[in-house]
Amino acid sequence: MEWSNHTVTDFILLGFTADPVMQLVLFVVFLGVYSMTLIGNIILLLLIYNDSRLHTPMYFFIGNLSFLDLWLSSVYTPKILMTCISEDKSISFAGCLAQFFFSAGLDYSECYLLAAMAYDRYVAISKPLLYAQAMSIKLCAMLVAASYLGGFINSSVITKKTFSFNFCGDNVIDDFFCDLLPLVKLACGRKDGYQELMYFLLASNVITPTVLILASYIFIIAIILRIRSTQGRLKAFSTCTSHLISVTLYYGSILYIYSRPGSNHSLDTDKIVSTFYTVMFPMLNPMIYSLRNKDVKEALNKLFK
């Protein structure tokens, strides 16, 4: 990629607060969250790898979700921790670009992966006897590969467009990472076509997967309603609850930030919401998919024994 000339060589990340006491408190909080994220996702990956009962398409997708969460949290949290305890709040132009590229690629990939997981739940409920054959290893691998490919292709497009702008004035980012909206506010000069690109990326990476997820669950609900026994309905729906919680939390926070008009944005509010899907969500996912799952809990007991 070729970037246009820019006079800004680094950026200053303001983070959450300038109060030294609060910065120390936030350091402890984020360190605890990051530690739990690493431990929870690594344990879940080990359980899926070691226990043969978890060698199914559903856990294949959950394992890839854990891998994405490990990577995603590592893009953000170490820099947040350094910002909290160090007087140097700067990040180089190249470091900002790399953080932006990987964070966008991983976020977009997670959007596609959650859509693939919705399709997996539809197949599991609509074709329970043919589930293993319908969701073959080859198909699962293709869906995961397509999620990564689509995510990072879109990330390349938005990264090239964003960092082709001139950054010739203020270099202070009122956020804890190099995010899209604060960077666009710092860019000087004309920004032709950027708003249209934003709408395209929002539609392709968020709206389209959301529509696919909604369509999958419309079919799932229709199938569940045809089940005669109440116990059978509850059992069928319980296989989808963990995924529904993940989708609601993740898509809800992203849509809140990026689907609103620019005039309605508050950077302070956006920082709080973006903290949720960048830092908190990767920690919550292992809990969502383990605490409500009998197979995972049994595998965990077996591992400790």
pLDDT in tens, 147-161: 999 999 999 988 988
Q: What Å distances lie between residue 126 and 209, 221, 264, CA to CA?
A: 20, 10, 42
- pLDDT for 234 beyond 90: no
- pLDDT tens per residue, range 165-185: 777 777 888 778 888 777 888
**CA-to-CA distance for 131 and 261, rounded, in angstroms?**
43
Domains of the chain, first to last: 10-304 (1.20.1070.10)
Q: Tell me the mean pLDDT in the region 80-86.
A: 85
Contact, 303 vs 46, CB < 8 A? yes
**CA-to-CA distance for 65 and 41, rounded, in angstroms?**
9
The identity of residue 219, as a single letter, is F
- pLDDT for 265 beyond 70: no
The DSSP result for 267-300, as a single string, is: HHHHHHHHHIIIIIHHHHHHHHHHHT-HHHHHHH
**CA-to-CA distance for 267 and 13, rounded, in angstroms?**
13
Q: Tell me which of 219 and 20 has the higher pLDDT.
A: 219
Query: What's the pLDDT score for residue 5?
Result: 47
- pLDDT for 259 beyond 80: no
